[in-house]
A and B are shown apart, each in its own frame.
Chain A
Amino acid sequence: MTTTEIRPHTPAQLVRLVAGREISTRIRDKGFLIGSGVLILLILGMLVFQVAVNSGGESTKLGVVGGSAAVTDALTAQGEALDTDVSVVDYDDEAAARRAVQDGDVDAALLSPSAAQPELLVEKSGGSAETIAQGAVQGMAVDQQLADAGVQLQSPPRVDVVALDPDADADLEAAVVALVGVVVLYSLLILFGQFVAQGVVEEKSSRVVELLLATMRPWQLLAGKILGLGLLGLAQMLVIAVVGVAGALAFDVVELPGRLIGTVLTVVAWFVLGYAFYASVFAAAASLVSRQEDLASVITPASVLLVVGFVISIQAAQEPTGTLSTVTSFIPGLSPLVMPVRQAAGGAEWWEVVLAVVLMLVAIAAIVRVGGRIYAGALLRTGGKVKLRDAMRAERA
């Protein structure tokens, strides 16, 4: 080997090397793979649930003996009024109809509907088939009597529907999509925040950090770690977004695909900001301890902030214009969870979004600065828990 193969690194190369290691290590990590799988299953599960709920219009199968086209029409029309799909099966005689009901082939069987005394066979009384049959028979009887009395029926006037807030449904739908997005965002922030924190402590507890810092600066190590895991998190977020959007479109769950995609992109953008914020906080906090067992004690405050944001975002989905959601959608750390819901629900002006983003960016800049200093100061101090003040004061003491 000759020394010509060895070139000093630029900081960017070092950051890339660190990031590369983080990605290649994590991507093979069981915890990561399981977590990712669970999240994707969760999204698919929600889609399937939506499909099940949407197709939840009831359907009823009615057998008819001695029916006619008019009877079938009357039954179907009655079903529509009750939001039920009615399918009619004709039977030749009562015995066949009776068998069909007993075998469960049809929900009920209507005998001689046009006669003076129609009869409905059911397994047990109650249920929509009864209502439908009753309504249809009554309607036909009234029509018959009116016709007999020589009354010429005119179609009744159709009521024009004027929606005062035509977007209300779409807003609700977008808010639900945003909320689902926030659930994913929250889960990924927790997951990747943990990864960052565990990674920092692992390097400290195994003392490998001494070898690393002999070749690079603390900020390069920190940046590489946060960027590497962040790219992985973003990739995962995008995979989930694509799966979710594609599934929603394929199953025809949403009314407005354009808004769905817009909302999903908003959530992804807020994930980037939220991750930058929480990853820096988690990394700085984790650098204060040297053992995984002590980790919980230092990252709890930041985790609590995340949980609070999540709870408020659920509340915001129900009441996007409320004071609580309006105020918290500007607070850095809470905004990534609350603002996307407000935006989706149509409760946020464009300048509000800009303000929230700017505040968040300012907070991130401050956190990276202070957190980086804490990290650099605490990284080489092993043993007990490093006091925040000591870490701030002593960079490489």
Chain B
Amino acid sequence: MLEFDGLYKAYGDNQVLEGVSFTVAPGQMFGFCGSNGAGKTTTMRIAMGLARADAGEVRWLGRPVDEAVRRRIGYMPEERGLYPKMKVGEQLTYFARLHGLDAAPAARAAETWAERLGLGERRGDRVEKLSLGNQQRVQLAAALVSEPDVLILDEPFSGLDPVGVDSLAEALLEQCRRGVPVVFSSHQLDLVERLCDAVGILARGKIVASGTVGELRSGAAGRQLRVVAPDAPPGWAAAVPGVRVVSEQRADVVLELGPGTDDQQVLAAALSTGRVTHFAWREPTLVELFRGAVTDTREVAA
């Protein structure tokens, strides 16, 4: 288990983190979401020892993350960082060695990862000569080259084209299958929803929602039911007890059911008007969940 436990951090008067806690299981892909400035990067930097928490700690397998553990963590910082004048292959070998590999295995790993991320032919090129997308791949290769036990990636998908996103996603899923816990932050919530087993939403220095996407959905207030009954007269749904109409556009209505209201009663009412072409629970998207979670805290904070 990778545990983030009660992290507090203030820069001067600015309290950035106020007790951030979440856990990531081995083989789990954890999507770390939050508005700009919510403290995602600070949380990750604390895990990597680049910032010091005022309180709280990060643990891996029950042991506080120290330098020895960190060498087994693959990290991709938000501000990308590579030696611009160093060749791709040498650079990857160097990072592999810094993470504890011997010279020969490090060179082999560098070659393997350059190949796997489609950089095989660019191994002898200086990083500064590569396109931004390819530099991003080198950055990822630098995080993966030591076959780390844990991956912490800050905005790994930003700046990638759809093909790049797919190949990065595939690489991360493969790491998960190896049993590596992967934490990554992203603003692309559709991507997080697609890839992640678990999600944590950070707002105002706290995790305001966390769990699997399914758990978040079930916890979300007011699930909505969409019914399309083309022949129904306007206002049919409002007549059903325990139902609130959220929106009604001709035959297409979105409903919220009160507690204890049976969706089958609604279906029966709809069928009594004639044909029903659509009847389904609408799953809130992560975007909606995110908005809900972030706004809730704003209201509390206000």
Binding site for B on A (CB under 8 A): 1, 3, 5-9, 14, 17, 21, 25, 202-203, 206-217, 380, 382, 396-397
Q: Give B74's nearest chain A residue, CB to CB.
A: A214
Inter-chain contact B77/A207, CB cutoff 8 Å: yes
CB < 8 Å neighbour of B83 from A5, A7, A202, A215: A202
Q: B115: which A residues are within 8 A, CB to CB?
A: none
Inter-chain CA distance A14–B95, complex, in Å, is: 11
B142 and A6 form a contact (CB under 8 A): no
A211 nearest in chain B by CB position: B81
A6-B147, A25-B83, A211-B142 given; 7 more Cβ-contact pairs under 8 Å:
A17-B98, A25-B86, A206-B82, A208-B83, A214-B48, A214-B50, A215-B70
Question: Which among A210, A212, A215 is the interface contact of B79 at CB below 8 angstroms?
Answer: A210
Q: Are A5 and B105 in contact (CB under 8 A)?
A: yes
Report the nearest B residue to A208, measured CB to CB: B81
CB-based contact A6/B100 at 8 Å? yes
Instruction: Determine the chain A residues whose CB is within 8 A of the CB of B72 once the complex forms.
Output: 6
- Which chain B residues lie closer than 8 Å to A1 at the CB level? 105, 108-109, 147
**A to B CB contacts below 8 Å, 27 in the list:** A1-B108, A5-B101, A6-B72, A6-B99, A6-B100, A7-B100, A9-B71, A17-B98, A21-B94, A25-B86, A202-B83, A202-B85, A207-B80, A208-B81, A208-B83, A210-B50, A211-B77, A211-B81, A211-B82, A212-B98, A214-B50, A216-B67, A216-B98, A217-B67, A380-B50, A382-B79, A396-B51
A215 touches B11 (CB 8 A): no
- In the assembled complex, which residues on chain B have CB atoms less than 8 Å from the CB atom of A382? 79
- Asked if A396 contacts B50 (CB within 8 A), the reply is yes
Q: A1-B109, A215-B70, A215-B71 are in contact. Are A209 and B81 (CB under 8 A)?
A: yes
Q: Complex formed: what's the CA distance from A208 to B72 in Å?
A: 18
CB distance from B145 to the nearest CB of A (A): 10
Contact pick for A9, options B49, B80, B85, B100, CB 8 Å: B100
| Residue of chain A at shortest CB distance from B69 | A8
Chain B's closest residue to A215 (CB) is B98
Please, which residue of chain A has its CB at the minimum distance from the CB of B100? A6
Residues of B within 8 A of A214 (CB): 48-50, 70, 73, 75
Q: Indicate if the CB atoms of A215 and B99 lie closer than 8 Å.
A: yes
Interface size on B, residues (CB 8 A): 36
The residue on A at minimum CB distance from B86 is A25
Contacts of B77 in A (CB 8 A): 207, 210-211
B163 close to chain A: CB less than 8 A: no
Which of A17, A203, A209 sits near B94, CB closer than 8 Å? A17
Residues in B whose Cβ lies below 8 Å from that of A5: 101-102, 105
Q: How far is the CA of A212 from the CA of B95 in the complex (A)?
A: 8
- Inter-chain contact A6/B50, CB cutoff 8 Å: no
The docked-state distance in angstroms from the alpha carbon of A9 to that of B71 is 9
> Are A207 and B68 closer than 8 Å at their CB atoms?
no
Cβ of B52 under 8 Å from chain A: yes
B89-109 vs A, CB cutoff 8 Å, 1 = contact: the mask equals 000001101111110010011
Contacts of A208 in B (CB 8 A): 81-83
Q: How far is the CA of A207 from the CA of B81 in the complex (A)?
A: 4
Contacts of A215 in B (CB 8 A): 67, 70-71, 98-99
Instruction: Give the 5 A-B residue pairs with the shortest CB-CB distance, closest first.
Output: A207-B81, A208-B81, A207-B79, A210-B77, A6-B100
**Smallest CB gap from A210: residue in B:** B77
- In angstroms, how far is the closest chain A Cβ from the Cβ of B136? 13
- Please give, as numbers and ranges, the residues of chain A lying within 8 Å of B52 by CB-CB distance: 396-397
A215 and B72 CA atoms in complex are apart in Å by: 9
B146 on interface, CB distance cutoff 8 Å: yes
Nearest residue (CB) in B for A11 is: B67
Task: Tell me if B84 counts as interface (CB < 8 A to partner A).
Answer: yes
Residues of B within 8 A of A7 (CB): 100, 102
A74–B131 Cα distance when bound, in Å, is 84
**Bound form: Cα–Cα A5–B98 in Å:** 13
CB distance from A96 to the nearest CB of B (A): 71
The A-contacting residues of B in range 44-80, CB under 8 angstroms, are 48-52, 67-68, 70-73, 75, 77, 79-80
CA of A14 to CA of B86, assembled, Å: 19
For A396, the chain B residues whose CB sits under 8 A away are 49-52
Q: A220 to B272, alpha carbons, bound, how many Å?
A: 78
Chain A residues with Cβ under 8 A from B84's Cβ?
202, 206
Q: In whole angstroms, how far apart are the Cα atoms of A208 and B99 in the complex?
A: 15
Q: How far is the CB of A76 from chain B (nearest CB, A)?
A: 66
Closest to B76 in A: A211
CA separation between A5 and B146, bound complex, in Å?
10
In the bound assembly, the distance between CA atoms of A2 and B50 in angstroms comes to 28
CA distance A203 to B84 in the complex (A): 9
Selected contact of A6 from candidates B11, B83, B146, CB within 8 Å: B146
- Return chain A residues, CB-CB under 8 Å to B68: 8
CB distance from A27 to the nearest CB of B (A): 13
B49–A213 touching, CB < 8 Å: yes
Residues of B near A207 (CB, < 8 A) are 77, 79-81
Kindly state the separation between the CA atoms of A178 and B102 in the bound complex, as whole angstroms: 44
A212 and B50 alpha carbons, distance in the complex (Å):
10
| Distance of A207 Cα from B98 Cα, bound (Å) | 16
Check if A206 sits within 8 Å of B100, measured CB to CB. no
Please report the C-alpha to C-alpha distance between residue A202 and residue B81 in the assembled complex, in whole angstroms: 10
B73 touches A206 (CB 8 A): no
Bound state CA distance, A118 and B147, in angstroms? 100
Which of chain A's residues has its CB closest to B94's CB?
Answer: A21
Chain B residues positioned under 8 Å from A17 (CB to CB): 94, 97-98
Q: Across the interface, which residues of A come within 8 angstroms of B94, CB to CB?
A: 17, 21
Chain B contacts of A8 at CB under 8 A?
68, 71, 100
- In the bound complex, what is the Cα–Cα distance between A8 and B77 (angstroms)? 22
Chain A min CB distance to B109 (Å):
6
